[in-house]
């Protein structure tokens, strides 16, 4: 009789087991962010996902006031250029 540890997981189980650590980390982050923001709404250590979305929207979709460039895309371009040089 084979022990349960010797049975390979099925394809669906492999997918679930592979995603499980990422889901756990995401849930822990959400709970920690909610707890910190409940105490201090201006906390920037663990921002909420809505703050992430707002910052990425501002960086990706709105040009900079000083030079008119989209900061995210220009910075990404320069970083990739430096890696290739």
Is there a single domain that holds both residue 85 and residue 55?
Answer: yes
Give the DSSP letter of residue 42: T
Number of folded domains in the chain?
2
Is there a single domain that holds both residue 56 and residue 30?
Answer: no
Dist. CA 58–CA 71, nearest whole Å: 9
pLDDT value of position 16 = 97
Is there a single domain that holds both residue 43 and residue 67?
Answer: no
pLDDT value of position 39 = 96
83 assigned to some structural domain = yes
**Residue 50 pLDDT > 80:** yes
Dist. CA 24–CA 21, nearest whole Å: 5
Dist. CA 44–CA 28, nearest whole Å: 17
The pTM score is 0.70
Contact of 33 with 48, CB cutoff 8 Å: yes
Is there a single domain that holds both residue 31 and residue 58?
Answer: no
Dist. CA 74–CA 85, nearest whole Å: 16
Is there a single domain that holds both residue 38 and residue 24?
Answer: yes
pLDDT value of position 6 = 86
pLDDT value of position 49 = 92
Record the tokens describing residue 58, joined without a space: 């501002």
Is there a single domain that holds both residue 16 and residue 26?
Answer: yes
Band of pLDDT at residue 1, cut at 50, 70 and 90: confident
81 assigned to some structural domain = yes
């Amino acid at each position: 009789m084979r022990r349960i540890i010797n049975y390979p997981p099925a394809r669906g189980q492999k997918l679930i087991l592979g995603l499980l650590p990422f889901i756990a980390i995401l849930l822990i982050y959400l709970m920690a962010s909610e707890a910190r923001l409940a105490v201090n709404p201006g906390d920037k250590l663990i921002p909420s996902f809505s703050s992430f979305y707002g910052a990425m929207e501002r960086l990706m979709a709105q040009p900079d006031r000083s030079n008119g460039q989209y900061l995210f895309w220009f910075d990404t371009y320069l970083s990739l250029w430096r890696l290739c040089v």
